[in-house]
């Protein structure tokens, strides 16, 4: 799964720590999501999308191999 | 009754306490090994105080393993699941290999029992298949002991009273009827 979490976070001038605090996870989890190693749950993905004020499909995108 | 988890975890401060206990255990092991002398003020029914040190160390690790992290998010929970499964897999594999070696090779007699591992595997299958078939809420939510108690005070009160009655009855039968 691809995501645009890092781009959207940077566009809002948020650090990984800021984003982590706002969605209730650790900074390491945000890093893992941005690097594509960890796929968040539906709730967490919705929280991230809501914070960015974007549809969840815009932030997270399925790849052909998914 | 509110959601009741049969397997609650401990909170973060229990993890910190567990770390402290594990360090004490390591220090005790190191003291006995380096000095070659037991700590004479401690008297227990252990043959060697290093064994007691190992026990304390293990208690500390146990408290640490089943306590939540400071930020216990879904990534941590997934990593915990993998870590526990892998370590359990290694343990069972090692015990199976050691036991069969002990059985087949006469000169390789290893004095231990595989029964605790067998029971643990039985419990694992019981819990796994009960959760798979019944789909209970507790299979999807990790709560701490404190949260579990807060949500189910009445249950814990009745459970504690029942336990006290059972223990008192057993004690009465065993000790006062003899």
Query: What is the per-residue pLDDT across B24-65, written as a single tens digit (0 to 9) for each?
Result: 989 888 887 787 766 666 655 555 666 788 888 999 999 999
Question: Scanning every residue of chain B, which has its alpha carbon at the shortest distance from the alpha carbon of A38?
Answer: B75
Contact A26 B74 (CB under 8 A): no
Segment A1-19 shows an average pLDDT of 94
Instruction: Sort out which chain B residues have CB atoms less than 8 A from A26's CB and list them.
Output: 69, 71, 73, 75-76
Cβ neighbours of A39 (radius 10 Å) = 16
Q: What is the reported pLDDT for B16? A: 94
d(CA A35, CA A3): 9
Q: What is the reported pLDDT for A58? A: 93
Cβ neighbours of B129 (radius 10 Å) = 10
Query: Does pTM surpass 0.80?
Result: no
Residues linked to residue A2 through DSSP beta bridges, in sequence order: A61
Question: Scanning every residue of chain A, which has its alpha carbon at the shortest distance from the alpha carbon of B78?
Answer: A38
Least confident piece of the model among A16-20, A59-63, B80-84, B139-143 = B139-143
Segment B3-19 shows an average pLDDT of 87
Q: Looking up tokens 């390789």, which residue turns up?
A: B108
What does the mean pLDDT of chain B come to?
83
d(CA B132, CA B126): 10
Question: Contact at 8 Å (CB) between B32 and B53?
Answer: yes
Q: What is the reported pLDDT for A54? A: 94
Task: Give the SS3 label for residue A66.
Answer: coil
Question: Contact at 8 Å (CB) between B57 and B18?
Answer: no
Percent of chain A with pLDDT over 70: 100
Question: Scanning every residue of chain B, which has its alpha carbon at the shortest distance from the alpha carbon of A26?
Answer: B71
d(CA B146, CA B77): 18
Q: Looking up tokens 């650790």, which residue turns up?
A: A26
Q: What is the reported pLDDT for B1? A: 54
B71 touching A, CB under 8 A? yes
d(CA A58, CA A41): 16
Q: What is the reported pLDDT for A34? A: 94
Q: What is the reported pLDDT for B54? A: 85
Percent of chain B with pLDDT over 90: 24
Nearest Cα neighbor of B25 from B64, B52, B46 is B52
Segment A8-37 shows an average pLDDT of 94
In a 13 Å sphere around the CA of B61, the CA atoms on its Cβ side amount to 9
Question: Contact at 8 Å (CB) between B1 and B151?
Answer: no
Instruction: Sort out which chain B residues have CB atoms less than 8 A from A42's CB and list them.
Output: none
Choose the closest CB to B71 out of A25, A38, A40.
Answer: A25
Contact A28 B74 (CB under 8 A): no
Tokens at residue A12, please? 């809002």
B74 touching A, CB under 8 A? yes
């Amino acid at each position: 799964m691809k995501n645009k979490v890092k781009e959207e976070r940077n566009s809002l001038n948020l650090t990984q720590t800021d984003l982590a605090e706002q969605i209730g996870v650790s900074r390491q989890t945000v890093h893992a999501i941005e690097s594509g190693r960890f796929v968040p749950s539906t709730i967490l993905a919705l929280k991230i999308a809501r914070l960015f004020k974007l549809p969840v499909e815009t932030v997270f995108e399925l790849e052909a191999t998914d | 009754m509110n959601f009741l988890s049969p397997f609650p975890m401990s909170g973060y401060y229990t993890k910190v306490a567990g770390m402290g206990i594990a360090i004490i255990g390591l220090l005790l092991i190191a003291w006995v090994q380096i000095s070659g002398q037991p700590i004479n003020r401690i008297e227990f029914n252990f043959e060697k105080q290093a064994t007691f040190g190992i026990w304390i160390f293990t208690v500390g690790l146990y408290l640490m393993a089943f306590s939540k992290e400071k930020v216990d998010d879904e990534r941590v929970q997934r990593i915990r699941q993998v870590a526990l499964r892998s370590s359990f897999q290694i343990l069972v594999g090692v015990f199976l290999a050691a036991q069969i070696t002990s059985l087949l090779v006469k000169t390789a007699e290893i004095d231990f029992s595989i029964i605790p591992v067998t029971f643990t595997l039985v419990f694992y299958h019981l819990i796994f298949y009960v959760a798979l078939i019944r789909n209970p809420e507790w299979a999807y939510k990790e709560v701490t002991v404190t949260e579990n108690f807060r949500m189910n005070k009445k249950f814990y009160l009745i459970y504690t009273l029942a336990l006290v009655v059972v223990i008192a009855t057993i004690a009465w039968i065993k000790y006062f009827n003899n």
